[in-house]
Chains A and B, each alone.
Chain A
């Protein structure tokens, strides 16, 4: 289904790279009109960052861009051209939301600070999502998603026991914490506007947003004064609780015994009567005290088996277990995602048919189907004509002036 839940809501969307566009994508997937303001001379970095169809570079061939911008309309305007401001003001006057994830001050320098925009569109919802917030001594620190992991404790706590910090293998805060906190805030602002007629500014510091996702660790430290040391995949409460090597090349399975009854079931599955009958291992506390012995027994069993059979054998007895899936496994083999129709194919003029993640839920039993991402500047002229009512001559003049790219 292609839901039109947000039909009639228009964004002047200045976001680029990862976190910002991933947030506004949710709105286009639900029927809002997202006018993606982007330049050709200074394109969205993920348009030039790849991966590209067949590994061949092209400004319309980036899969990363495609996955963040489904259903949007692309308006190619050179922001650095001083003449572009009036056109952009006209777009903003016709929009409910203006969004950006530039550093502090960038929008102000372009003439699109909150006060500037409010002057021409008093009830605007203004989403800004700079890394460290709009003001303060570190507001101008430059960063990427991993920088956010670094300053929030997320990187510190991700690593092997007894070794240094490694951090998530991705720019993790860009892909859920920040885009979805932002989307939730925009929906709240839309409701507030519906009730009061007033807009608002949303200053989403990506660091502050991400610390909420580290909230359990933060509050525990605040209460106990103790910061948990890195444990790899182990748990301070449960054992076994780890990722175990299985037969095959780089094959692994996570196994987590969260209840003593699951320990008994695990011992039966692996056929180890000595472990099963050892009273010192009957409780989590006892197993934690002999963690090396417990894990060695499990590892010896998994090492000779493929991860699917390990997972199935344990799950059949109610023991939480799951193989460590690569993207290849998720896309080609995972029976659950296949059953639920998670991967959907979208056709694109330059990329061709490509597969994308669906929004991660079923809505009334159906998938939200994605509309294809735009070519750069694909909708410039129709937006100027249809939304702003510009005559063809005016559009041609803007193109001649270099406002339109």
Chain B
């Protein structure tokens, strides 16, 4: 390929297991050569089963792997053997970035990586960071969503806090990892120095709590789930004829609120008079539980005979902040996403067919983002990489 790409010529050694997988992929999508170095039995992320269909659905094993490892390469090295370690060091020496998630059986990995001559960025990703009282803790998506503070903010008052779905801790951590690594690389190339990043998933989650930190620090209030006393009565998901819609019409979004009232007026809705009473003009009052319950009953009565599609059209026409609550199954027919040709087809050899994948997270005016290849088979690039990296072929 003659086309210059942002990370063309950049080699990244990908030793991630979970939290950093998507970070390495973001670089690969923009031209980096991202090499997964895997043990002979394959990386621990390969056999992760699909979340759908229960624990027996073996056929979907590898679906998550396919998404998180698009555009990457794979080679097999047994780092337990001396020759394997030598090849590993040669590969690290040839790379500008190493992203790793050391396992409990790899206490010396980071020191080994830093000891390799040359300048590069070594990014270490873990649940709680490399030092401190929790650094020996065993993490998981749910556990770090709890300890990072996001679970406390979701769910209903008095009931169990709720974690966010689809392994959000992986994505949040990977996004901070990718951005910080990119900046460190920029400096490494400019200054000829090396950098080590020690990224904590707990800190990444705690960095993403909206204004909850400042609410406690400045006003000494603890935000909790349900938005009790904080979130406007209108800001919620409501039941309509064929599903749910999300509405936001607080006084701060005045056009949305006035557009909603005008719409009710045009339809002669009998609940309108109540919404014109003075308590609905007071922001703090509107966030209280009785007002929230009252608005829910009133608004759900107003939209009981309206479909998601009808409500979406009214939102667009009336400049009301309102949108359907889409299922995952709805996304591929979302008219906007269809119009923009967002989804991409990717061949999945294990399935013998093409599968729809989410497309680029950003649309660039230069043609530098693309899917060059699906996720690699184990050791698929052994010859390609090792032929160039080393003459020591007895690495396994």
Asked whether any CB of chain B lies closer than 8 Å to the CB of A227, the reply is yes
Assess whether B237 is in contact with A164, with CB atoms less than 8 Å apart.
yes
Identify which of B7, B180, B225, B362 contacts A204 (C-beta below 8 A). B362
Question: Which of B80-88, B191-199, B269-277 lies at the interface?
Answer: B191-199
Count of A-B residue pairs with CB < 8 Å? 516
What 9 A-B pairs come out closest when comparing CB atoms?
A: A63-B214, A360-B203, A180-B175, A169-B153, A150-B246, A339-B132, A188-B6, A5-B187, A138-B336
Asked whether any CB of chain B lies closer than 8 Å to the CB of A288, the reply is yes
Assess whether B55 is in contact with A288, with CB atoms less than 8 Å apart.
yes
Q: Could you show 17 A-B contacts with beta carbons less than 8 Å apart?
A: A137-B336, A154-B165, A157-B165, A157-B328, A158-B162, A164-B244, A182-B362, A200-B365, A220-B51, A228-B52, A243-B162, A323-B146, A323-B147, A336-B202, A357-B213, A361-B198, A361-B199
Across the two chains, which residue of chain A brings its CB closest to B255?
A142
Question: Which of B286-294, B337-345, B378-386 lies at the interface?
Answer: B337-345
B249 to chain A, nearest CB (A): 11
Identify which of A67, A167, A330 contacts B246 (C-beta below 8 A). A167
Known: A165-B237, A177-B175, A228-B51. A158 touches B197 (CB 8 A): no
How far is A177 from B217 in the complex, measured between Cα atoms in Å? 25
Known: A137-B336, A220-B50, A254-B145. A30 touches B222 (CB 8 A): no
Question: Which of B34-42, B71-79, B135-143, B260-268 lies at the interface?
Answer: B135-143
Contact count band on A = 35 or more
B96 to chain A, nearest CB (A): 12
Interface bits B200-239 vs A (CB < 8 Å: 1, else 0): 1011101111111111111101111111000000010101
Interface bits B346-371 vs A (CB < 8 Å: 1, else 0): 00100100011111111111101000
Assess whether A142 is in contact with B319, with CB atoms less than 8 Å apart.
yes
Assess whether A318 is in contact with B213, with CB atoms less than 8 Å apart.
no
Assess whether A256 is in contact with B140, with CB atoms less than 8 Å apart.
yes
A49 to chain B, nearest CB (A): 7
Identify which of A136, A190, A213, A354 contacts B339 (C-beta below 8 A). A136
Assess whether A253 is in contact with B146, with CB atoms less than 8 Å apart.
yes
| Chain B residues within an 8 Å CB radius of A46 | 211
Assess whether B362 is in contact with A5, with CB atoms less than 8 Å apart.
no
How far is A147 from B151 in the complex, measured between Cα atoms in Å? 20
14 extra A-B contacts, CB within 8 A, seeds A150-B323, A180-B176: A67-B211, A133-B336, A133-B340, A151-B325, A152-B331, A200-B364, A226-B53, A236-B54, A241-B142, A242-B160, A331-B213, A361-B200, A363-B196, A363-B198
Assess whether B183 is in contact with A30, with CB atoms less than 8 Å apart.
yes
Assess whether B340 is in contact with A226, with CB atoms less than 8 Å apart.
no
A239 to chain B, nearest CB (A): 10
Tally chain B residues at the interface, Cβ within 8 Å.
Answer: 156
Q: Which residues A320-360 have CB closer than 8 A to chain B?
A: 320-331, 334-337, 339-340, 342, 351, 354-360
Asked whether any CB of chain A lies closer than 8 Å to the CB of B100, the reply is no
Assess whether A45 is in contact with B252, with CB atoms less than 8 Å apart.
yes
| Chain A residues within an 8 Å CB radius of B163 | 233, 243, 254
Asked whether any CB of chain B lies closer than 8 Å to the CB of A375, the reply is no
B208 to chain A, nearest CB (A): 4
Interface bits A170-212 vs B (CB < 8 Å: 1, else 0): 1110111100111111011111100110101111110111011
Q: Please report whether the interface of chain A is mostly helix, strand, loop or mixed according to DSSP.
A: mixed
Identify which of A187, A211, A224 contacts B50 (C-beta below 8 A). A224
Assess whether A155 is in contact with B246, with CB atoms less than 8 Å apart.
yes
How far is A318 from B212 in the complex, measured between Cα atoms in Å? 31
| Chain A residues within an 8 Å CB radius of B315 | 141-142
Assess whether A195 is in contact with B360, with CB atoms less than 8 Å apart.
no
Question: Which of A50-58, A80-88, A395-403 lies at the interface?
Answer: A50-58
| Chain B residues within an 8 Å CB radius of A177 | 171-172, 175
Interface bits B3-14 vs A (CB < 8 Å: 1, else 0): 011111000000
Asked whether any CB of chain B lies closer than 8 Å to the CB of A274, the reply is no
Asked whether any CB of chain A lies closer than 8 Å to the CB of B97, the reply is no
Assess whether B364 is in contact with A224, with CB atoms less than 8 Å apart.
no
Assess whether A137 is in contact with B339, with CB atoms less than 8 Å apart.
yes
Assess whether B327 is in contact with A227, with CB atoms less than 8 Å apart.
yes
Asked whether any CB of chain B lies closer than 8 Å to the CB of A301, the reply is no
Interface bits A216-246 vs B (CB < 8 Å: 1, else 0): 1111111110111000110111000111010
| Chain A residues within an 8 Å CB radius of B312 | 138, 141
Asked whether any CB of chain A lies closer than 8 Å to the CB of B16, the reply is no
Assess whether A363 is in contact with B67, with CB atoms less than 8 Å apart.
no
Known: A147-B248, A222-B355, A339-B131. A252 touches B146 (CB 8 A): yes
Asked whether any CB of chain A lies closer than 8 Å to the CB of B102, the reply is no
Assess whether B176 is in contact with A360, with CB atoms less than 8 Å apart.
yes
How far is A154 from B172 in the complex, measured between Cα atoms in Å? 14
Assess whether B356 is in contact with A222, with CB atoms less than 8 Å apart.
yes
| Chain B residues within an 8 Å CB radius of A140 | 316
Identify which of B211, B342, B368 contacts A51 (C-beta below 8 A). B211
| Chain B residues within an 8 Å CB radius of A377 | none
| Chain B residues within an 8 Å CB radius of A263 | none
Asked whether any CB of chain A lies closer than 8 Å to the CB of B66, the reply is yes
Asked whether any CB of chain B lies closer than 8 Å to the CB of A159, the reply is yes
Asked whether any CB of chain A lies closer than 8 Å to the CB of B376, the reply is no
Asked whether any CB of chain B lies closer than 8 Å to the CB of A21, the reply is no
How far is A227 from B356 in the complex, measured between Cα atoms in Å? 14
Q: Which residues A33-69 have CB closer than 8 A to chain B?
A: 45-46, 49-55, 63-64, 66-67
Assess whether B162 is in contact with A184, with CB atoms less than 8 Å apart.
no
How far is A363 from B4 in the complex, measured between Cα atoms in Å? 30
Known: A320-B138, A339-B132. A64 touches B52 (CB 8 A): no
Assess whether B153 is in contact with A168, with CB atoms less than 8 Å apart.
yes
